[in-house]
Amino acid sequence: MTDSGVLRIAVLISGSGTNLQAIIDAIAAEKIPAELVAVLSDRPDAYGLQRAAAAGIPTIPLNYKAFASRSDFEATLASELAKLHPDLVVLAGYMRILPAEIVNTFAGRMLNVHPSLLPAYPGLNTYARVLAAGEKHHGATVHYVIPELDAGPAIIQYRVAVEPGDTEAHLRNRVQAGEYRIYPQTIRWIAEGRLRLEHNQVVLDNQPLTSPVIIEDDQC
């Protein structure tokens, strides 16, 4: 952290950056004692870069398609992250699987938000899969990142009831509204020194979590 105790955060995005905006807004409202040191994207046209620029946050566009190989891109990404010296790396709609080398460099200091109640429904197309399976609930999970996809220790979940006649779009809107609550909340806990990962165990307020914190939607 900086000498003032402010958490230094680097954010990785691939798209519109709505979770990024929720974090920007929470920091601007002084709800999180943190500084966004840079927003990096694998797509130079990602709208989230415009959000960052509008908030005065440095942007680092890395055009994945311009690199000769995946390993070249990953080496450049690792180098850019190293230059930033972040205390925390936040994945906010970053759509590429990170190599184990980067993940391990930031072990216990990298977060992701996934649109399902993990460990159920890792991977893509969670809304369609949940509706097809006739599940009663869906939601989002903030978790620490490990090399295995969507398998890191869960911290907090936002849960909504699947309504009769729900569509993917309607369900997505309600789940994403929850993401905008639980992602800044998680970062705030870290910035305040309340949350940490210890021997692959999530510890909140010095108490090991046996299961993630659950935030219920009004319909639950």
Please state at what angle helix 126-133 crosses helix 168-191, rounded to 10 degrees: 120
At 162-194, the pLDDT tens digits run 999 999 999 999 999 999 999 999 999 999 999
Burial class (CB in 10 A: 0-12, 13-18, 19+), 68: exposed
Which among 114, 138, 143, 170 is annotated as catalytic?
Answer: 114
- Domains, the chain, with CATH or none: 1-106 (3.40.50.170), 115-220 (3.40.50.170)
Res. 220: pLDDT tops 50:
no
Residue 85 a catalytic site member = no
What is the tens place of the pLDDT at every residue in 80-96? 999 999 999 999 999 99
* Residues 36-88: tens digit of each pLDDT: 999 999 999 999 999 999 999 999 999 999 999 999 999 999 999 999 999 99
User: What is the CB neighbour count within 10 angstroms for residue 198?
Assistant: 10
At residue 41, the pLDDT reads: 98
